[in-house]
Each structure stands twice: as C-alpha cells, then as structure tokens.
Amino acid sequence: MLRWLLTGGGIPILLLLSGVFFWFYLGFRPFRTPKKLICALRGAGDGDGSSPFRAVMLALAGTLGVGNLVGVANALWIGGAGAVFWMWVSALVATVLKYAEILLAVSHRRLIGGRFVGGAYYYIKDWFLAHGWVRVGVLLSGIFALLMVVDSLTMGCMIQVQAVSAALEGVCGVPLWVSGVGLVILTLPVIARGSRGISALTEVLVPIMTAGYVILSAAVLILRRDALGEAFLSIFREAFSPKSVGGGVLGFLTSRALRVGTMRGLLSNEAGCGTAPTAHASANAVSPAAQGVWGIFEVFVDTILLCTATALVILVSGSEIALYGGDAMMLTIRAYASVLGDWAGYFFSAAVLCFGYATLLCWANYGMESLSFLSRRRIWRGAYLLAFAVCICIGISAPAFIWDLSDFAIAALTSINLTVLFLLRREIKRETDRL
C-alpha cells in the first residue's frame, strides 16, 4: 500500500478532481472564448526575456520524449486500446492545470541578471510568505526544487538515455557504451552554456523533429487506412470494457493499469506537476494568462497529436502487442517498420535520439534552475554538470527502481503543486478575467 502511494497511486484521483474543479471554477475559460485563445497564441510578446514561442519549444523539449514513445506503448500493453481514450480524457483535464501553473509562473517570476527566472517553487514560496508562514514556505519550496533536481537526473536523464541507447542498439547495433559517451559529448557543452544556449537549440530542434515524426506517422496511417476505422472502434469499445474499467469505478481508479497509464501520461505532458513553468517563466509574455494559453497548446501537441499518432500506428500495424511484453521501445519500432519497411526502423531510431536529446537538454535546464533557487554558489552548478554526466553513463542500463524513483518524484511534485494551485485559485481567476 505504501509503495502504491509513493509511486503515484492517488495521483489519478487528485488530477481528476483538481482538473474538474478548475474547469468549473474558471467557468470553462479560456476555452469559452476561442477568439481570445487565438489572439494570445498570436501575441509576439513584449519586453525582456525570450519569445513565448521559444519558451514553449523549450517546455515541449522536456515533454516530447520517452512518454510519447515508450509511455504510449507501455499503456497499450497494460490497458489495451481503451487506454488511448483515457489518455484523451486526462489531456482534456490536464490543459486547465497546465494553463494555471504557467500563469502563476509568469506572475511570480523574478528578473535576475537581465533575464527572467521562475518556476513553481517561486509561487509556492510567495504564497506562504504572504500569509506569514515563512519557514513553511522556505521548506516546501526547497523540497519542491530538490525533487525537481532528482527528477531531472532520473526521468529527465537516465530514463531518456535508456530509451535512446536501447533503440540504437536494437536497430543499428550501436553498443550501449558508445551511446552513453556520445550523449555526454553532445549534451554537456550545450547545457554548460546555460538556459539561453539550450532554448536557442530547442527552438530549432523541436519543430523539425515534431514535423518529421508526424510525417512518418501519417505515412503509416495512410498506408493502413483500411484498418484505421477498426482502430478507433477498438479504442472506444475497450475504454468501457470490464477489462478497462477494472470492476467498477473504485476498482478502475485504483487499478494498476490506470495508475501506470496516468503516471506515463504525466511523463508525457507533465501537466499539474509544476515542471513546465520553469521554461515558460522566461517568456516575454504580454500577460500571465496569455502565456498560460501556450500551455494548452503544449498539451495538445504532446498528447492529442503525438501520443495519439504513436498509439494509432501501433494499433493499425498489426503488431501483436503481447509478443513484446514490457519491451515498449521495440514494439513501437516494429510497428513503424512493419508498414514502411526496415528503413523506418533507422528513421525511428534517429527520431528517438532527437526526442531524447531534446529532453536531456530541457531537464538539465530545469535541474540547474532548481539548483540555483536553492543556492547560487557556482560550485553547485559544476557538481550538477558532473552528476548529470554520470547519470547519462548509468542510464544506458538504468536499474528498474529508477522508474519507481521517478514516479515518486513526479507524484510528490504533483501533490505539492496542485495543493498550491488551489490556494492561489483567486489569483488564477483574476488573471484569467483579464485575458
């Protein structure tokens, strides 16, 4: 029971209740005003900081990784085709949470050294300080930043490296140690330059790799268009089957399938756990709510577009999911290669490398920003870079408990963040009214 709770057993319920609450509390805004949504996305930004588009590309670099590839295949293996439906539902709920946390990040950020810095730890600290609970605010925000550092080294580093190295070895025969050394050489010089160097690279890399992945997926779906209708039918049919429901609402909400599916969903879009605000806080947004709208766009691209594309490709390819068991990476590679030919396996391996590399850069930035919140001594920055390099080397054959450690960090981050979102609900509503 304790392990179930520590690895996110209660997170599905917490996310569902929080999302539904904010949908009604905000009166279904900003979705209720699509014209304002579009205007916010078209805004060019104003003042210091990076552009809103560059900020969202950096945030997407952190979410477009193993969750879109391995996480989706893993959810299909555990929960069947019906898991896709619940991914869509969780994404719909998640949009308002992502919007709210980004809004707060922009509202509570600081201008330090000529650039904007921020994140969930700032608005956590600000709320408690404003209410006279100084020690609680310092402690809780510090714990949050420390968990961000832990997550950057586990989910943001080792899990990504494991996925990349497994794909390169399984398809191209690249030895694991070569992948590890290569990623260290590619990653450390960029992250050593800091957030500006990272965001400049992800602004170019993310749109290219996203477009390439969409084109590859579209080619599979066009060639297997005759199976597309049955794939959609299976998603809706199995979503409400006894296997998916798990013997009733309570059984469903506490089942291993939903817990793993939701945690892998969090691994994909990260809505509600307070990580993406670190990237969005750097934007020269015209208003906090306007940048929050970019969070809605982020969830759409990550889950509705890319995760759905991966799931549909697996479902229409005719690949027998059960044959691959827990090897979600090879299941996904085989799904593409079985339709497009062996060359697709090499293309997909390159895509995995790009996705994983972008995620490494983004999470290294999150880790360094969180560490800077805890202490601005330069020695800690050097220590973090060394730790990140070591974790890349360990990640090529990461032990199984790393997934549990990552799930624990994400569950703890989400629990703290959602609690503070509720405490700051009036500010979220006030800024939304100004949109």
How far out from the chain centre does Cα 176 lie? Answer: 25
In this prediction, residues 89-100 reach a mean pLDDT of 84
Band (40; pLDDT cuts 50, 70, 90)? low
The single residue listed with the structure tokens 């009604």 is 24
Range with the lowest mean pLDDT among 57-66, 157-166, 290-299? 57-66
Band (22; pLDDT cuts 50, 70, 90)? very high
Evaluate if residue 148 carries a pLDDT over 70: yes
Amino acid 387: pLDDT: 92
Please say whether the dihedral angle defined by the alpha carbons of residues 288, 32, 14 and 87, taken in this order, is positive or negative: negative
Measured CA to CA, the distance from residue 77 to residue 256 in angstroms comes to 12
In this prediction, residues 233-251 reach a mean pLDDT of 58
CATH number at residue 320: 1.20.1740
Amino acid 324: pLDDT: 62
**CB-based burial, 266-297: b 16+ in 10 Å, e otherwise:** bbbbbbbbbbbbbbbbbbbbbbbbbbbbbbbb
Band (273; pLDDT cuts 50, 70, 90)? confident
In this prediction, residues 385-390 reach a mean pLDDT of 91
How far out from the chain centre does Cα 214 lie? Answer: 18
Range with the lowest mean pLDDT among 50-59, 244-253, 345-354? 244-253
Amino acid 144: pLDDT: 95
At residue 248, the 3 state secondary structure works out as coil
User: Percent of the chain scored above 90 by pLDDT?
Assistant: 17
The single residue listed with the structure tokens 């391996």 is 349
Band (62; pLDDT cuts 50, 70, 90)? low
Give the number of domains in the chain. Answer: 1
Provide the domain limits for residue 55. 2-433
Is the pTM higher than 0.75? The answer reads yes
Task: Tell me the average pLDDT of the chain.
Answer: 79
Evaluate if residue 288 carries a pLDDT over 70: yes
Q: Per-residue DSSP letters for 2-59?
A: HHHHHTTTTHHHHHHHHHHHHHHHTTTTTTT-HHHHHHHHH----SSSB-HHHHHHHH
Task: Kindly report the number of other CB atoms within 10 A of residue 82's CB atom.
Answer: 23
Amino acid 135: pLDDT: 92
Evaluate if residue 358 carries a pLDDT over 60: yes
In this prediction, residues 214-219 reach a mean pLDDT of 89
Evaluate if residue 50 carries a pLDDT over 80: no
Amino acid 250: pLDDT: 35
Evaluate if residue 1 carries a pLDDT over 70: no
Band (129; pLDDT cuts 50, 70, 90)? very high
Q: Per-residue DSSP letters for 282-300?
A: TB--SSHHHHHHHHHHHHI
In this prediction, residues 105-130 reach a mean pLDDT of 89
Amino acid 128: pLDDT: 95
The residue that leads in pLDDT, 206 or 241, is: 206
In this prediction, residues 183-212 reach a mean pLDDT of 80
